[in-house]
Chains A and B, each alone.
Chain A
């Protein structure tokens, strides 16, 4: 994986804690120093270190994707909601079609699957970390025409984990600067299902896209896209200027390789931090060093994983 660089340092930390750096204070009874553990040699050292690294990387990544990512997503949603409600109140919320990527554009509620999220502009992998994303080049949800909204199925809060469970007739509420609109789910589409043709040019059609998996671990293996069409016969007017094609990274199941340089930067910083920790340990005690370096290491690891997520398919 991509984040192996910093781990050796963390992994080797307990074994280096040997030299009696400070003389024990007089108040405490002198502790008998325990005999040092023999340092592992040869193959054992390699296997031990490697497995520690692998475990740390895998556990951290899982933790971040499934748990911490959810926390981050909740926080993003809270901030976006706060922004968006102010924009709604001030009637400065965007109407499209040139909304900056990452800005909140709508609030979408689907009671049937417990989805209640602020929709952001853009559907690249990085945009969907914050919540459901509205595909650029399509009208906003609720406006006349065909809009597309994508969201994640397994990680970062997994807002669309149960998208495939929607039933025809379920409500999809959208709230944008133009008002509130309730759309009705037309059905879930999977491979081979006919694409409905809409003959009414005045309708609003929202196509929700997420992913789902098969089998026992289906919640963790979202490898196939699933589409849900929701329609409303009445729609808000659509401003002029739509029609661009979203870049490749914002299509369903695409990855965003533009994150690579940033990822390289985070990883380089992590390597730098490891080196700094090793050097600092020569002069200061472990606890002191780690009190300082711990938060930095955590946040760097967090940022690296967030950035690495952008290299993964956007609906994961």
Chain B
């Protein structure tokens, strides 16, 4: 774009070839071209990660004062992404060479992960591990976040439990009976000076400098409250018997955790501490209980489970991560946060130009917008998320300059609309499923169209409540009980969960649902199932959804079955059970968060509120780690940002395609544009035929009017299209770059046609070619003709005259009105004339009724006298 603007004046000025050449050269050198994307992406990928190796060991000092190393490991820790992170983003941290863990907890997060032996503690801390920095910016245990007291403080431990006092590397203060209690508020904490009991506190210091003494649950920062908004992120992760392990660690910005306070300005780190056990100082003679406890080496065999949370040897557990023996073994992964979402509002006082539409672009919009608002030559871009059709309507009626949509929308105005391809992304079926027996997460979910159809059509029963449902009482309770699912995904738990009967989806109109249902419609098995044919195992479709019309822009809740039950709560709150299971939400983001928290949106939990004596129905609890089973429709951008796993979808028998650059590129290659400036259409039949293209691939378009926009707005939209299809397609996590989950649009390759189409539409938007005026004006009045000719959009069409089309040429010859001065009746000539609506019925009905009544009375009276003889007088 900038190249064009610079070229034009230089050519017109005719300053000569030199100037023109120079400008062209500058244009070529500037990075925003598709060819430059490769190297930049590669640099980012290599510069973004973290890898470090060090030797960690456990040392015992014997009674004679000799040191003996009891264990030593060369541990390597890696992280895949450390820069420009966003709140709740999940990054992959893996390690090798660590001591195998034992006594595996069902839920390794937060307090629940404390009863494990030899875990790897991963936590987020404020500050950097750099001795050259001022003390306030340095990382220390007091700036590391834990969500509970038990993770950071040992309060009133008897002898034999206070092993940290025998820590070889601990300083004098830590060896005292009470340590870390200097700043403790005696009123808030229990008395710690109790004979023969020891306490060690690790207070938490917030970013603002406030110290929470962490001696009980009430002296913790507010984000660490019981049942806080976000589940704990810090984890005591498990190392397998080969010494390897990995975890998807969720980072928290100051939006989620203000006390921790990490953002783009406050540096933070992720601390990884492989626990090898406390190193112990020279024992007393005879050895105290603490001396013995410090030397313990664990009760659980490597790889074993400790699901019941039995006691462990504290010396090899994660609770003493702060003790010097453990703390000195830490790996510090420095991380940086990206600009917060409100950067543009804070730093740029200009009025934003809001584009309205698809949430598929959300993650890209987050990274793109600072590249606009922080550049004074560009406008202030703002992406407002609405449904596709709502965004399109706002664009058509002039509220929004452009819409962000993923397919051609029904136009209600006469102005032509151009669709410029802006990004390639799509949707996926995200999931969070654990393998049984504490075997970790399931990572290769495969689904076919019929399974999705079964979920969407609410054909699983959910629980025994659903068995009374007429017609489908013999269906499996949930997907994990469906033989078809078990065949595709062997080895998963068959324990029924209500969440296994639901695919969390959108409640409103969306192109995502349109494409998902198109995928179901082209699949023979799925459409036969929805048409009423039972599957080979005899499962039938829910009669409420039988023969549902596909594809459709939104998925309705059609079931009306209210189960009869003895449950008092359900009797007081009779409601449609299957709708409670499905409980669709309004945004893809909510679905992503439900998956992130493993918190299904199933609304079947019945509570009794003793205060109001009422029963109420609400969302079920978060699923416990180790038994998770949640499915939801997510955008690929969200899935990449939050580290959500995505299912591979069946294209034809036996072929399952996951969303990758390759499979999305193939889908783009299959899509066709039927007319210039219109969207490309991806025919799901072609996808099925191809076999390797991802069915959920979607192109996000910037749709804007090609006529009727004012030039200023048109320039902004054209600029957006050009910038986002060039420099916005460079992969990376920085401002203006394309986040993961999107396939870059390049000048060549399968996406080349999208690039060409985008430039064509950008030119057309910028040009704003005015329409031939005469036909347009004859159109408008005739639109609202008589009854027969009235279309859906007209009728009152002439009542809303165009606001911005008419040049502000007030003619003061308005008939004697008290019109306020700002309003003027424009010259009647260019506007249309009033067209009235006429109705013969309305005009004739009352007179006809009157006439009928009169005639009736006359005939009645007449018949009395003339037809029927009067009564004889006797």
Contact = CB atoms under 8 A, between A and B. Distances in A.
Given A37-B871, A154-B846, A191-B834, A199 B792 contact: no
A25 to B, nearest CB: 25
Contacts of A194: 825, 828, 831-834
Contacts of A213: 843
Contact of B857 (A34, A37, A55, A198): A55
Contact of A148 (B799, B846, B871): B799
Interface string B387-422: 000100110110100000000000010000000000
Interface string B836-871: 111111111111011011011101100100011101
Given A221-B844, A225-B837, A187 B817 contact: yes
A52 B799 CA distance: 46
A195 B839 contact: no
Interface stretch (B87-95, B168-176, B639-647, B800-808): B800-808
A50 B863 CA distance: 11
A54 B852 CA distance: 7
Nearest to A39: B868
Nearest to B840: A223
Nearest to A51: B859
A223 B843 contact: yes
B390 A58 contact: no
B852 A58 contact: yes
A192 B823 contact: no
B349 interface: no
A35 interface: yes
Which among B826, B830, B847, B849 has the greatest number of chain A C-beta atoms within 10 A? B849
Contact of B802 (A51, A65, A197, A232): A197
B815 interface: yes
A164 B396 CA distance: 33
Most chain B CB within a 10 A radius of its CB, from A53, A186, A244, A246: A186
A308 B800 CA distance: 31
A199 B856 contact: no
Contacts of B869: 38
Nearest to A11: B860
Contact of B792 (A43, A48, A52, A247): A247
Contact of B817 (A61, A169, A243, A251): A169
Contact of B846 (A43, A48, A62): A62
Contacts of A207: 796, 799
A255 B800 CA distance: 22
B773 to A, nearest CB: 14
Contacts of A196: 801, 825-826, 831
B778 interface: no
B855 A220 contact: no
A168 B817 contact: yes
B839 A54 contact: no
Nearest to B807: A199
Contacts of B821: 233
Interface string B180-209: 000000000000000000000000000000
Interface in A264-316: 312-313, 315-316
A291 B224 CA distance: 73
B487 interface: no
Nearest to B809: A199
> Which of the listed residues B412, B799, B815, B856 has the most CB atoms from chain A within 10 Å of its own CB?
B799
A193 interface: yes
B856 A55 contact: yes
A47 B819 contact: no
Contacts of B800: 138, 146
Contact of A184 (B818, B839, B842): B818
B854 to A, nearest CB: 8
A223 B838 contact: yes
A129 interface: no
B867 A47 contact: yes
B834 A227 contact: yes
Given A232-B820, A254-B795, A313-B842, A217 B836 contact: no
Contacts of A217: 846-847
Given A184-B818, A223-B838, A48 B868 contact: yes
A221 B847 contact: yes
Interface residues of A, number: 85
Given A191-B834, A243-B396, A253 B839 contact: yes
Contacts of A34: 871
Contact of A62 (B794, B798, B849, B860): B849
A201 B397 CA distance: 13
Given A62-B853, A195-B831, A226 B836 contact: yes
B790 interface: yes
Nearest to A198: B823
Contact of A243 (B397, B826, B835): B397
A29 B512 CA distance: 87
Interface string B491-526: 000000000000000000000000000000000000
A252 interface: yes
A255 B830 CA distance: 32
A222 B835 contact: no
B22 interface: no
A190 B798 CA distance: 12
B810 A199 contact: yes
B347 interface: no
A284 B198 CA distance: 97
A6 to B, nearest CB: 16
A279 B852 CA distance: 31
A223 B804 CA distance: 33
Nearest to A316: B842
Nearest to A201: B803
Contact of B853 (A58, A148, A199, A227): A58
B232 to A, nearest CB: 38
A251 B835 CA distance: 13
Interface in A225-254: 225-227, 231-233, 240-248, 251-254
A211 interface: yes
A44 interface: yes
A248 B847 contact: no
B348 to A, nearest CB: 21
A242 B863 contact: no
B805 to A, nearest CB: 9
A185 to B, nearest CB: 8
Nearest to B850: A62
B390 A241 contact: yes
Interface string B154-169: 0000000000000000
Interface in B123-154: none
A313 B564 CA distance: 46
B819 A251 contact: no
Interface string A93-117: 0000000000000000000000000
A176 to B, nearest CB: 20
B799 A195 contact: yes
B394 A47 contact: no
A143 interface: no
B815 A253 contact: no
A237 to B, nearest CB: 13
A260 interface: no
Given A44-B863, A233-B820, 18 more contacts: A48-B867, A48-B868, A54-B852, A54-B853, A55-B857, A154-B846, A155-B846, A192-B834, A201-B804, A203-B822, A217-B847, A221-B846, A224-B837, A245-B412, A251-B790, A313-B841, A315-B839, A315-B842
26 contacts: A40-B867, A44-B863, A52-B856, A52-B860, A53-B856, A54-B853, A57-B852, A59-B856, A62-B853, A184-B817, A187-B815, A193-B833, A197-B830, A198-B803, A200-B823, A203-B823, A221-B846, A221-B847, A223-B842, A241-B394, A242-B397, A242-B399, A245-B793, A315-B839, A316-B839, A316-B841
In order of increasing CB-CB distance, the 4 nearest A-B pairs are A223-B843, A251-B795, A55-B856, A194-B828
Interface of B: 390, 393-394, 396-397, 399, 412, 787, 790, 792-796, 798-804, 806, 808, 810, 815-826, 828, 830-847, 849-850, 852-853, 855-857, 859-860, 863, 867-869, 871-872, 874
